[in-house]
Amino acid sequence: MEMEAVIGLEIHVELNCATKMFCDCPNRPGDEPNSNTCPICLWFPGAIPQFGRAALEKAALLCLGLNAELQPKSAFDQKVYYYPDLPKGYQLSQAHLPLSRGGWIEIADEQGKPKKLRIHHIHMEEDVAKLLHEMEGRTPISLVDFNRAGAPLVEIVTEPDFRSSYDAMEFLKALRAQVRYVGSSECSMENGTMRVDANISVRPKGTDQMNTKVEVKNMNSVRHVGDAIAHEITRQSACFQSGEAIILHTRLWDPEKKATLPMRAKFAGPCVPDPAVPVIELSAEWIAEMKKRLPEMPAARAARFSTQYGMTAEEATYLSAEPDVALYFETLIGEGIAPRTAMHWLTTQLMPALKEKKMELASCKVTPSRFAQLLSMLAQDEINANAAREVLTHLFDSDETPDRIVAARGFKQVSDPGALCSLIDKVLAEQPAALNDLKNGQAKAIGFLVGKVMQASGGKANPKMIKEMLAGKLDSYNQ
């Protein structure tokens, strides 16, 4: 029997607000443990939570960026359960009236066709504290860090529209790009600012059964989400085929064992309206104002890059996936660099170099204006491509302008016809076989000779001119 998976995702995104959701403590969970706390976020009895506008605006922009409908009325509930990272016994979350309903993300499916994956709703909630498990001598101890307690979160709950690990991974990549565009979060699974739980069930292909689902947690990269889902589909399909019952429970992904393992269930209590936090009412004017603040989103930007700059769909998607890359690309064009040159040098030279050096585009020394100066020198034949690549390596760790680096290191291209002519004659004298080929009308000798002349010039000759001059010789020999 061929099986099919039914998958839904629940994604927690930590908003990058300066302060926590219900108090003015800094929202910096990585600081010295328990340094960013106050009676509200230590959850002392009697402390009244004060809901902040910053979290509401960041959350609202995130919802709009995911095509969701902001609700005129939303409210916080107390989600009741006790755990050492939640000593007040309840979490403030929106269980009944979420901030937004609906929404979708479009991905390209495995055949390249557009596929819309729907969002059920998006709600806001406060984060819980963080538990650290350590050893004190031979005694295991658990420590609680309240820096994260009360940090602003949204939870994105999707419809069960996903059929494969591929769908889930593409959705998460697109989600991350869209949330980064609106500026609400870095959405880094590695740093914990995006956390994903997957609900997975299986059924015979072609049926519309909704079978018992299993929740999988503890994945800390998009790749792990894909691996965990693929593993769970295989495991459940085997259970289903052998007639073994699948029971509702939660499993943890173990990246070392490459398997999901059962975890003990947490007690989940009721959700009751919170009496202290006022209902959030959004006016139509406020929603319209937020819509105006929405930037051009990745799909729209990719479409524009295709039509405005003649990029292929693949190039346009790459250039628009990250807001800082898109901005860098357009800044280069603004500095007078041809779009194709900008695309080529950004994608084949600058981005790979940054990756290798583990640097960020926004904070590296190769600013768009310095990079544009370099590419202008290349376009004006002042340097050749080899020299431009060399100069680029110096731009990463020097504040010198590209033209000074070129002058100081002797990268200037040799374009003087006389100098090139004597170089060519010298090389031809050393390469009698290639000279013979030229005399016999063999055009393929030109490529070889260009390389040799470049070498003889120490990489500084103008390759375009050498090629033209050699082609001229070929013609003159064969008239």
Contact set with Zn ion (CB under 5 A):
23, 25, 38, 40-41
In the complex, minimum distance from the CB of residue 184 to Zn ion, in angstroms, rounded to a whole number? 21
Reference 176, options 56, 331, 297; nearest CA is 297
In the complex, minimum distance from the CB of residue 22 to Zn ion, in angstroms, rounded to a whole number? 8
Between 40 and 117, whose beta carbon lies closer to Zn ion?
40
In the complex, minimum distance from the CB of residue 40 to Zn ion, in angstroms, rounded to a whole number? 5
Dihedral angle of Cα 379, 384, 385, 389, to the nearest 10 degrees: -110
In the complex, minimum distance from the CB of residue 269 to Zn ion, in angstroms, rounded to a whole number? 24
Distance linking the first and last C-alpha atoms of the chain: 74
Between 50 and 234, whose beta carbon lies closer to Zn ion?
50
Between 40 and 434, whose beta carbon lies closer to Zn ion?
40
Instruction: Mention every residue, 6+ apart, whose C-beta is less than 8 A from residue 470.
Output: 424, 438, 446, 449, 450, 453
Between 54 and 287, whose beta carbon lies closer to Zn ion?
54
3-class SS at 284? helix
In the complex, minimum distance from the CB of residue 129 to Zn ion, in angstroms, rounded to a whole number? 12
Between 146 and 345, whose beta carbon lies closer to Zn ion?
146
In the complex, minimum distance from the CB of residue 126 to Zn ion, in angstroms, rounded to a whole number? 11
Structural element, H or E, at residue 249: strand 249-254
β 249-254/214-219 pair status: parallel
In the complex, minimum distance from the CB of residue 23 to Zn ion, in angstroms, rounded to a whole number? 3
Compute the distance between CA of residue 290 and CA of residue 271 in angstroms, rounded to an integer.
30
Between 41 and 200, whose beta carbon lies closer to Zn ion?
41
In the complex, minimum distance from the CB of residue 29 to Zn ion, in angstroms, rounded to a whole number? 12
CB 255: neighbour CB atoms within 10 A?
Answer: 14
Compute the distance between CA of residue 465 and CA of residue 462 in angstroms, rounded to an integer.
6
Sign of CA dihedral 346, 349, 350, 354: positive
Q: Which two structure tokens, joined as six digits, stand for 348?
A: 């084949």
Between 40 and 319, whose beta carbon lies closer to Zn ion?
40
In the complex, minimum distance from the CB of residue 201 to Zn ion, in angstroms, rounded to a whole number? 40
Structural contact between residues 41 and 22, judged by C-beta atoms closer than 8 angstroms: yes
- Phi then psi for residue 162, to 5 deg, are -85, 140
Q: Which two structure tokens, joined as six digits, stand for 87?
A: 């000593």
Reference 324, options 375, 374, 368, 293; nearest CA is 368
Structural contact between residues 232 and 199, judged by C-beta atoms closer than 8 angstroms: no
Structural contact between residues 1 and 192, judged by C-beta atoms closer than 8 angstroms: no
- Phi then psi for residue 85, to 5 deg, are -85, 5
Between 41 and 450, whose beta carbon lies closer to Zn ion?
41
Between 26 and 183, whose beta carbon lies closer to Zn ion?
26
